[in-house]
Amino acid sequence: MADKNKKWEDNVPGKFFVDDQCIDCDACRTEAPSNYTRNNSHGYSYVFKQPTTPEEEKACQAALEACPVEAIGKE
């Protein structure tokens, strides 16, 4: 389970976040490319845009469920 106390500072404020357990597998960026991106310098994903539509909300939830190491959280 993702830990909100260990979330990356790159995450924009909001309900979804990625914490420091991210293994840069690309699952979230595949599921929700409009909301997740990669920190190229350090090799991890983070939320750059919180969902604003029902479709994006569904995609972000799918990304959370697809994460193999449970690095995506939802507040």
Residues 24-73: tens digit of each pLDDT: 999 999 999 999 999 999 999 999 999 999 999 999 999 999 999 999 99
Prediction pTM value: 0.95
The pLDDT score that the predictor gives to residue 12 is 98
- Residue 19 and residue 7 in contact, taking contact as beta carbons nearer than 8 Å: yes
The tokens for 14 are 């909001």
- CATH tag, 4-74: 3.30.70.20
Q: What is the spatial distance between Cα 32 and Cα 73, in angstroms, rounded to a whole number?
A: 14
The pLDDT score that the predictor gives to residue 27 is 98
The pLDDT score that the predictor gives to residue 67 is 98
The pLDDT score that the predictor gives to residue 56 is 98
User: What residue segments make up the domains of the chain, in order of their start?
Assistant: 4-74
The pLDDT score that the predictor gives to residue 64 is 98
Residues 6 or more apart in contact with residue 74 via CB below 8 angstroms: 15, 16, 17, 61, 64
